[in-house]
Structure 1
Amino acid sequence: MKHALVVLALLAASPALAQRMRPADVDKLPSSTPTLTEAYGPAPAQIGDLRLPAGPGPHPVVIVIHGGCWWKGFATRQNTAALASRLTEKGFATWNIEYRQAGETGPDGKYTGDPGAGWPGTFKDWAAATDHLRDLAKRYPLDLTRVAVTGHSAGAHAALWVASRAKLPKDSEIASPDPLKIGAVVAIDGPGDPGAEIETFEKGCGVPAGTAMFGGTPAEQPQRWAEGSPQKQLPFGFKSGLVSASLFLSPTATAKWVTEARLGKDRSSALILGGTGHFEVIAPGSPVWSQVEAFLVEQLKVDK
């Protein structure tokens, strides 16, 4: 296939199947009770759920980041609770995080997002939640030499950004002085280079998500969009996996990521799923879940 893309699965496309699940359907899926729900910052949205697998540990850890167009009211960490629960069953400790989400100012002058969301606040939330694992590891059996991250939709971009942030310029507004080391990342149907995909992304979201998140368009804020683009930080020095259901991560964009990652000597693989919806890929029990789960479990393993 073009771009030397490794395709682990390719299902025949069927429009009748697309988008049969909605966010609320995924929210209602069974999930396990977290071992701990804890704040990683002072804002109400700066919170996460830690789930521990059976056994004494120390356990490999997966940070899980929900989507929702970075937009307040679209999704919460409940949307990835079933995903986190299933990964915990597979032997990973999971840290399913919430974060501040943007919005817009209406005609009445009221802002609909979380205070401080967007640039740089939301990025700093993802960073702070990740680095909070150091504190959690003092109290729970977590193996910080085996930390991976995954996310869905806009959370896929967040996961890739968390994986890439060690490559940021030290003077960046969203850089961290000592970022926790990440060893693997999987993006589930979300953009690695949001600036290149912003028209498709905002059309799918139905809101000006990019402008709200970055404080302007790519033309207006080129440095912000560059620093917020994980793809522009390649190579990472560890493996990346991508799951495409074609809504917010097209096969073409997937191929471009894998090609660029491999040119930088990173290992990168993809799971291309046609004929499925954007939410089936994070829904245990869906027709495609067994393939997604197998891909996640393999790709999220961190090499020692």
Structure 2
Amino acid sequence: MPTRHSYGPHPDQWIDVYLPSVPRRPGVAVIIHGGFWRSRYDAALGVPLAADLAARGHVAVNLEYRRVGAGGGYPETLLDVAAGIDLLSTVDGLDLAGVVTIGHSAGGQLAVWAAGRPQLPADAPGARPLVTVTGAVSQAGVVALLRAADERVGDGAMQDLMGAGADEHRQEWVIADPLARVPLPVPVRLLHARDDEDVPFSQSETYLALASVTGGDVALIEVTGGHMALVDTTAPAWAATVAAFEELIE
């Protein structure tokens, strides 16, 4: 069973830490669930992923955060992800030399954003991390936030997250957009299916193109099965996610 640790007073401010019952292998995986940042989706989406990684010998962390409709949005959602990761510094027995975020859909935005925290302006939400993310795996992630907003991905989910349009609060959008941090000093792996009907494949293509030309360590791994196969632990898309994670911690 996982152990729960709270990083704030809100009922959605917690992490569950899964320790393997088999011989421990390197790396800590931080699972960040998706759902277009909306409150009707929660960390139950990450439970099977964390359990699967722990069964393989990895420490896995399932991170919950405040979402739109339940105290979240900008900057609260970003602050929560940052605080949840930083809380790992207080958990006994963890080797934090290899901390990799794995995020699906909206969680992909948060996973790659978290990897770029050291590059944020000093006064930005989530700046000055206590725990450094050493790699990020985006599963059909919204990794080009401004482009996704222009394309109305998720029926305006980006505008709901940010609380305003990009023209009104441009600087805040730049802080939240993973694309604004490229190239990251850590590797990023993008997994995406061309037949994804929720988050366009072009999101990962856009990130890959800019990160590649600016010298980032980035790769796009095409999978099959649409949007949700990436969080189905019986699907090849999840096996590809595990392989990407294990590549980043070896």
Residue 154 in 1 paired to residue 106 in 2?
Answer: yes
Residue 128 in 1 paired to residue 72 in 2?
Answer: no
Q: Give runs of ≥4 in structure 1 deviating > 6 Å.
A: none
Compared with structure 1, are the counterparts of its residues 92 and 58 closer, same or farther at alpha carbon in structure 2 (3 Å cutoff)?
closer
Q: Structure 2 counterpart of 1:295, which letter?
A: A
RMSD over aligned CA atoms reads 2.0
Task: For residue 129 of structure 1, report the CA deviation from its aligned partner.
Answer: 0.2
Compared with structure 1, are the counterparts of its residues 175 and 288 closer, same or farther at alpha carbon in structure 2 (3 Å cutoff)?
closer
Compared with structure 1, are the counterparts of its residues 289 and 57 closer, same or farther at alpha carbon in structure 2 (3 Å cutoff)?
closer
- C-alpha distance in 2, partners of 1:177/1:239? 19
Match of 2:212 among 240, 244, 262: 262
Unaligned runs of 5+ in 2: none
Task: For residue 301 of structure 1, report the CA deviation from its aligned partner.
Answer: 1.6
Name whichever structure is richer in helix by fraction.
Answer: 2
Residue 294 in 1 paired to residue 247 in 2?
Answer: no
Compared with structure 1, are the counterparts of its residues 178 and 153 closer, same or farther at alpha carbon in structure 2 (3 Å cutoff)?
closer
Asked if structure 1 preserves the Cα contact closer than 8 Å seen for 2:20 and 2:57, the reply is: yes
Q: What are the superposed Cα offsets for residues 98-117 of structure 1, whole Å, 9 maximum, x if unpaired?
A: 11011xxxxxxxxxx113x1
- C-alpha distance in 2, partners of 1:228/1:292? 24
Task: For residue 55 of structure 1, report the CA deviation from its aligned partner.
Answer: 5.4
- 2:5 aligns with 38
- C-alpha distance in 2, partners of 1:294/1:178? 27
Higher relative contact order (CA 8 A, sep 6+): 1
- 1:87 aligns with 53
- 1:3 aligns with none
Aligned length: 248
TM-score with structure 1 length normalisation? Answer: 0.75
Percent of aligned pairs with the same residue?
27
- 2:115 aligns with 163
Compared with structure 1, are the counterparts of its residues 212 and 289 closer, same or farther at alpha carbon in structure 2 (3 Å cutoff)?
closer
Match of 1:253 among 172, 180, 203: 203
Q: Structure 2 counterpart of 1:72, which letter?
A: S
1:143 is paired with a residue whose SS is coil
- C-alpha distance in 2, partners of 1:58/1:277? 30
Match of 1:213 among 131, 154, 161: 161
- 1:191 aligns with 142
Unaligned runs of 5+ in 1: 1-32, 103-112
